[in-house]
Amino acid sequence: MISLIFLGTGGGRFTTISQARATGGMYLYSDSTRVHIDPGPGALLQLRTSGLDPTKTTALVVTHCHPDHCADAMILVEAMTHGCKKKRGILAGSDSVMNGYENLGPAISKYHASKPAQVKLLKPNSSIEVDHLNMRAIRTYHSDPTGIGLRISSPDGQISITGDTSLKEEIYREHSDCDVLVMSVTRPLRARIPYHLSTEDAAALAEVVEPKLAILTHFGMKFIAANPETQARWVEKQTGVKTIAAWDGMSMVMRDSIPLVQKTISRQFVDSKKLSVELDE
């Protein structure tokens, strides 16, 4: 069994500045693997609020070099490496994150990049192995041209994460045959902007991919004002695909390719008391 925990569902400048939704990224959690994806501002605090120990993280993955995705990356490298005293864990990121690209980055100092046991530059079709997980970088179309999405394969199923991107023909192929499709949807209906998905784009992608579950996250201020649950219901009505607007602290559990959504309570991952809800309830 593997959990995908949403340490924040906010995205974009003004949601990040206001913290109208948290921006701590996502966390893959199992008995043997803990992967932090895109630790934006407040990620360390969100880990503590959720009862997750950052010193037990086994891999840190950063998809691109925008502050809402990478601001807490270096302090979490320090946590993963136990104060930079142990060579442990994997650090992986896009070219802008690891090396800098034009006027972006790098997000990781040379000092911090020297501390993990393994460092990996991620470009489309490259991958890392983290215990029982394969994490493959996939293409995005974003204002950081080195940005990536992620395709996560585990014995319990396939999770596909769009990352920040506009919708292009190649994006449909990148996310085909997944069990869960996690889409960064920054803008609501009739409010599309370049380099990001809108609600209409989310519906178009979900309709073609046909996952068992579609999850919307990475909400900009206009999306929040338009009511994320309303936007998710519109996607589901248009596509017939079960669609959820994630909330801060939500956890999605995969077991035997079946996704369940958990109603989380602060620090419940310490005592493992979870309330699960079947998707059809």
pLDDT at 155: 93
| 3-state SS assignment for residue 26 | strand
Find the farthest-apart pair of alpha carbons in the chain and give their distance in angstroms, rounded: 52
pLDDT at 275: 29
Give the whole-angstrom CA distance, residue 225 versus residue 220. 9
pLDDT at 255: 87
Give the whole-angstrom CA distance, residue 150 versus residue 41. 21
| 3-state SS assignment for residue 229 | helix
Residue 177, number of CB atoms within 10 A of its CB: 11
Beta bridge partners of 129: 134
Domains of the chain, start order: 2-269 (3.60.15.10)
Q: Residue 255 — left, alpha, or beta (φ > 0 → left; ψ -120 to 50 → alpha)?
A: beta
Helices (H), 50-195: 67-70, 73-80, 95-98, 110-113, 169-174
* Helix axis angle, 228-239 to 199-209, nearest 10°: 40
* pLDDT tens, the chain, 281 aa long: 899 999 999 999 999 999 999 999 999 998 889 999 999 999 999 999 999 999 999 999 999 999 999 999 999 999 999 999 999 999 999 999 999 999 999 999 999 999 999 999 999 999 999 999 999 999 999 999 999 999 999 999 999 999 999 999 999 999 999 999 999 999 999 999 999 999 999 999 999 999 999 999 999 999 999 999 999 999 999 999 999 999 999 999 998 889 989 765 444 444 333 323 333 33
For the record, the structure tokens of 174 come out as 């990148």
pLDDT at 263: 65
pLDDT at 268: 42
